[in-house]
Amino acid sequence: MKKQDIIWKLRDARKSHKRWVSYALALIQGIPVEKEQVPVIATDCAFGQWYYGMAQSLKNLPSFQAIEEPHTELHDIYIEIFNLLFNQKKTGFFSKLVGKSARIDEQNRKLAKEKYKQLDAISREIIQRLEALEQEVQAMDEEKLEAMI
């Protein structure tokens, strides 16, 4: 794989990350989102699939290693948001019978919005680290980079 291919894949991963964060915000705002669009586990999102998949050839680069911890933390916070929004008190028998689900409690939505601020800050940190990774890859000699892969 050539340097430019790596950079394009890295940029695609960054776009996937930003899209995922926007889906998390949509959930908080009550906008319906498909289950596949907001994976909870760090290895299931499109960015995580890239990071723990094809990008592993970059694992010896310090800027690459700096991404894993905040990415995992991001998903931990998302799990908290998801639980605030969707692990509500159980509905009564009648509600289950007629298929009505409990509305998201406004206090939980408020807490989820606060958690989103943390998620957004970590997301910006990940973006900065991805930019550093891109710069590190850009600065590498083509032959050295190909030898890593």
Rounded to an integer, what distance in angstroms lies between the CA atom of residue 66 and that of residue 49? 17
pLDDT average, residue stretch 48-72: 95
Q: Is it the case that residue 149 has pLDDT exceeding 90?
A: no
- Calculate what percentage of the chain has a pLDDT beyond 70: 89
pLDDT average, residue stretch 108-116: 94
Contact 129, 63 (CB under 8 A): yes
- State the chain's mean pLDDT as an integer: 86
Q: Is it the case that residue 135 has pLDDT exceeding 70?
A: yes
Q: What is the residue extent of each domain of the chain?
A: 3-148
pLDDT level of residue 102 (50, 70, 90 thresholds): very low
Q: What is the pTM of this model?
A: 0.83
pLDDT average, residue stretch 53-69: 95
Question: Given CA atoms 40, 41, 47, 49 in this order, what sign does their dihedral have?
Answer: negative
Taking only Cα atoms into account, the Rg of the chain, rounded to an integer number of angstroms, comes to 19
Q: Is it the case that residue 57 has pLDDT exceeding 80?
A: yes
